[in-house]
Amino acid sequence: MAQRIVVDPITRIEGHLRIEAELDAENKISKAYSAGTMVRGIEIILKGRDPREAWAFAQRACGVCTTVHSFASIRAVEDALKIQIPKAANLIRNLMIAQQYVHDHVMHFYHLHALDWVDITGCLSADPAATADIQKSISPNYPNASAAYFGDVKKKVKAIVDSGQLSIFANAYWGHPAYKLPPEVNLLAVAHYLEALDAQKTFTKIHIIFGGKNPHPNFVVGGVPMPIDLNSDTALNAERLSIIKDSIDRMIHFVDQVYLPDLLAVAPYYLDYAALGEGLGNFLTWGELPDTDNSDTSKYVVPRAVILNRDLSHVEEPDPRDFERMKEYATHSWYEYSGGDQQGLHPWEGETKLNYTGPKPPYEYLEVEQKYSWLKAPRWADTPMEVGPLARVLVMYASGNEQIKELTDYVLKTLGVPISAVFSTLGRTAARAIETKVFADYLLTAYNDLIATIKAGDTDTFNGEKWEPTTWPSHAEGFGFMEAPRGALGHWCVIDNGRLSNYQMVVPTTWNASPRDQKEQAGAYEVSLVGTPLAIPDQPLEILRTIHSFDPCMACAVHMVDADGNDLGEVATGMNVCVS
């Protein structure tokens, strides 16, 4: 058997992911396998429940992008029951969604992905004055640009390293030869890593005001739970609108002055990754930031689209209701379909029957010829797809979004790479930053629209016409979409006699991290790793770079409780790598 690398778990993600990669004689990856090693099971929990409360359960599938399942859930129920939400409610939702993008992408770049490119210990030999010069050159108006400031950051890092307890900087391959940044750029990135930690408390204020808390804000089918009354202390008033405006200004400032300049400062040292990690070349989006009418996809800021074989000249709109094209397979997944595992099921007909047939833990390798993952294999027209920031940027670029085209062309020109470079690990990382700028600017547009709507006296935030189950049809089916930060998210619900009779969630990472399907077609993670060279096989930093460029989100942590709700224990894991 070829030499096989096992990385389990992949750290700095949400949930539990295992990657197995086979190496050729030159230590390049020839095959890769992606396995989700935990069960979600929310679909089982939701059966038989009131559709109006589904969002509160579905929301808990994720602890990072904490709004996305709620949005998909309430949209699915509203689609099934034909509920039209008020204009102000839609603007509030769009503000919450755009804030989620900015918060999530900044957090990902600095706290989940940056350490794949930035050597924390490498900043200890940096000259703070030289770092200050770099800061001034890439972002002249940024206030934290003095030698004294970067000297203080260097002292903080040195104290952590000297203590022998690396804390938040533990579990990484410091000193790995694949790190290429000069010490001064390392110090610059570490300083902004710490600033981004502090910025999160400002970025989340929109969710806190509109949803009452963060994480897991409150929602309601038919609109939003926040009323508008400028004279009330408990509603959306002038003071809260001022806080929201300040939060938006701070997000735009951070993206413009820190995030985008850092991307362009780091990327030139890793241009080899413009030719690695391509993936499938097939992309899907369900669309996002709609006008009030969710059914009018022509007014979405992010189009609903499919791109096949890198062909940006031909964009199709997928129909999530298409039983022939939208299917999930379980051929290599630990589930059982009543019609056989070669069958593909549309989510409205989807089944969630757990069927673990893998090796008894602990095991050395996955049984990749059989079933090897708790993730199903979603396919569009029997074709594996990539979803996420790169998919969104490509469909917006192909659809003529002027800001996306301008930003993308600027980044490509600055880095001196062709348009083909977007289909790569580096392209995926750059796309996330590009769309963050677009969504940060959109926040201000949506805020101004909300102010204008309020001034016009249009302050309704809830449509309760179909709140009571007596107004519902005996049978209804709905599709709820959400372009989550990590990609196209879909919830499909079936309502019979006022209760959920079926509920299926096809999440972004199910698309990207899927195992092979009935045709043995690999998923996006598996394809993207092929051809990647490893400098040190038992320190597979290169695997982390490409996998983190997708920003995996497998599911929330699993808690074990007994029948009385008592905690039975917690398990903490580090990264384990084995080479055989």
pLDDT lower than 50: segments of the chain: 556-580
178 three-state secondary structure: coil
229 belongs to a structural domain: yes
What's the CA gap between 196 and 201, in Å, rounded?
10
Strand partners, 36: 17
Q: Which domain holds residue 451?
A: 3-115+198-579
DSSP annotation string for 496-527: ETTEEEEEEEE-HHHHHT----TT----HHHH
pLDDT in tens, 413-469: 999 999 999 999 999 999 999 999 999 999 999 999 999 999 999 999 999 999 999
* CA dihedral of residues 47, 53, 58, 62 (deg, nearest 10): -150
**Structure confidence at residue 63 (pLDDT):** 73
In the block, residue with structure tokens 């929602």: 219
- Total domains in the chain come to 1
The Cα–Cα gap between 50 and 47 comes to: 9
**pLDDT on residue 110:** 97
Contact 99, 443 (CB under 8 A): yes
Inside any domain, residue 497: yes
Please report whether residue 534 resides in a domain.
yes
Quote the DSSP letter at residue 284: E
Tokens representing 40 are 């979600």
In a domain, 560, yes or no: yes
d(CA 314, CA 399): 10
Mean of the per-residue pLDDT values of the chain: 93
- Predicted confidence at residue 555, as pLDDT, reads 64
Q: How far apart are CA 444 and CA 306, in angstroms?
A: 29
Residue 153 lies in a domain: no
- d(CA 133, CA 135) in angstroms, rounded, equals 5
The CATH number covering residue 516 comes to 1.10.645.10
Q: What is the pLDDT of residue 295?
A: 84
Q: Which residue has the tokens 């299917």?
A: 327
Confidence (pTM): 0.94
Phi, psi of 6 (to 5 degrees): -120, 120
CA nearest neighbour of 389 among 439, 428, 421: 428
Nearest to 318 by CA among 290, 284, 348: 284
Q: Is there a contact between 76 and 480 (Cβ–Cβ < 8 Å)?
A: yes
Q: Note whether residue 167 is domain-resident.
A: no
Burial 70-107 (b: 16+ CB within 10 A, else e): bbbbbbbbbbbbebbbbbbbbbbbbbbbbbbbbbbbbb
Q: Is 547 part of any domain?
A: yes
Backbone angles phi, psi at 558, to 5 degrees: -100, 130
Is 233 within a domain? Answer: yes
